[in-house]
Structure 1
Amino acid sequence: MAVHARIAVLPPGRQTLDLHEVDLQAGPYEVVVRQKAFGVCHSQLDRIFDPGRGTPLVLGHESIGTVAAVGDRVTYVRPGDHVLVTWIPRTPLEGRPPAATSVILADGSRATTHNTFTWGTHALVDEQYVVKALPGLSADLGAIIGCALMTGAGAVMNTAGVTAGQSVAVWGTGGVGLCAVAAASILGAHPVIAVDIDDDKLKLARRFGATDVVNAATGDPVEAIRALTTNLDGTRGVDVALDCTGRGANIPISLAAVRPGIRGAGIRGGADILVGIPRTPFQLDSFDLLNGEKSLVGCVGGSCDPVRDFPTFTAWTADGRFDPSALVTDRYPLDQLNTAVDDLHAGRVGGRAVVEL
Structure 2
Amino acid sequence: MTVDARIAVLPAGQEKLELREVSLGPPGPHEVVVRQRAFGVCHSQLDRIFDPGRTSSMLLGHESIGTVVETGSEVRYVAPGDEVLTTWIPRTPLEGRAPVPSRVVFPGGDEASTHNTFTWGTHAVVDEQWVVKAPPATPADLGAIIGCALMTGAGAVMNTAQVRTGQSVAVWGAGGVGLCAIAAAKVLGAASVIAVDLDADKLMLAKHFGATDVVDVRAGDPVEAIRELTAHSDGTRGVDFAFDCTGIGKNIPVSLAAVRPGVRGAGIRGGADVLVGIPRVPFELDAFDLLNGEKQLLGCVGGSCDPARDFVTFSGWAKDGTFDPSALVTDRYSLDDLNTAVDDLHHGRVRGRAVVELGA
TM-score, structure 1 normalization: 0.99
CA distance in 2, matches of 1:124, 1:115: 11
Q: 1:2: which partner in 2?
A: 2
Deviation, 1:109, is 1.6
Q: What amino acid is aligned across from residue 142 of structure 1 in structure 2?
A: G
Amino-acid identity (%): 75
Q: 1:203 maps to which residue?
A: 204
The corresponding residue for 2:306 is: 305
Output the amino acid matched with 1:314.
S
Match runs of 1:1-357 below 5 Å: 1-25=1-25, 26-357=27-358
Residue deviations 1:149-185 (CA, integer Å, cap 9, x gap): 0000000000000000000000000000000000000
SS at structure 2 position matched to 1:19: strand
Secondary structure of 1:217 counterpart:
helix
TM superposition shift of 1:2: 2.1
Larger displacement relative to structure 2 (20-29 or 150-159): 20-29
CA distance in 2, matches of 1:263, 1:278: 32
Distance 1:196 1:109 in 2: 42
Shift of 1:229: 0.2
Cα deviation for residue 27 of structure 1 reads 0.7
User: How far apart are 1:99 and its partner, in Å?
Assistant: 0.6
Post-superposition offset of 1:277: 0.3
Give the distance between the partners of 1:101 and 1:327, measured in 2 at CA. Answer: 28
Counterpart code for 2:105 = I
Q: How big is the shift at 1:134? A: 2.7
Q: Per-residue CA shift, 1:281-331, capped at 9, x if unaligned?
A: 110000000000000000000000001100000000000000000000000
Q: Deviations over 1:173-222 (max 9, x none)?
A: 00000000000001000110000000100000000000000001111000
Shift of 1:135: 3.6
- 1:32-51 deviations in Å (ceiling 9; x for gaps): 10000000000000000001
Shift of 1:136: 2.2
Moved over 2 A (4+): none
CA distance in 2, matches of 1:344, 1:257: 28
The superposition leaves residues 97-141 of structure 1 with CA deviations (integer Å, 9 ceiling, x where unpaired) of 101010001111210100000000001110000000134210000
State how far apart, in whole Å, the 2-side matches of 1:337 and 1:253 are: 35
CA distance in 1, matches of 2:256, 2:218: 18
C-alpha RMSD of matched pairs (Å): 0.6
Is the contact made by 2:168 and 2:230 (CA closer than 8 Å) also made in structure 1? yes
Question: Residue 98 of structure 2 aligns to which amino acid in structure 1?
Answer: P
What is the SS of the residue equivalent to 2:57? Answer: coil
Deviates more, 1:260-269 or 1:155-164: 260-269
* Count of aligned residue pairs for this structure pair: 357
- SS of the residue corresponding to residue 165 of structure 1 reads coil
- How many angstroms does 1:73 deviate by? 0.7
Worse-matched range after superposition: 101-110 or 34-43: 101-110
Alignment partners' CA distance in 2, 1:71 and 1:347: 40
Structure 1 gap ranges (5+): none
AA paired with 2:176?
Answer: G
Give the partner amino acid of 1:12. Answer: A
Aligned with 2:219: secondary structure?
Answer: coil
**Is contact 2:135–2:315 with CA below 8 Å preserved after alignment?**
no
The alignment partner of 1:214 has SS state of strand
SS in 1 for 2:264: coil
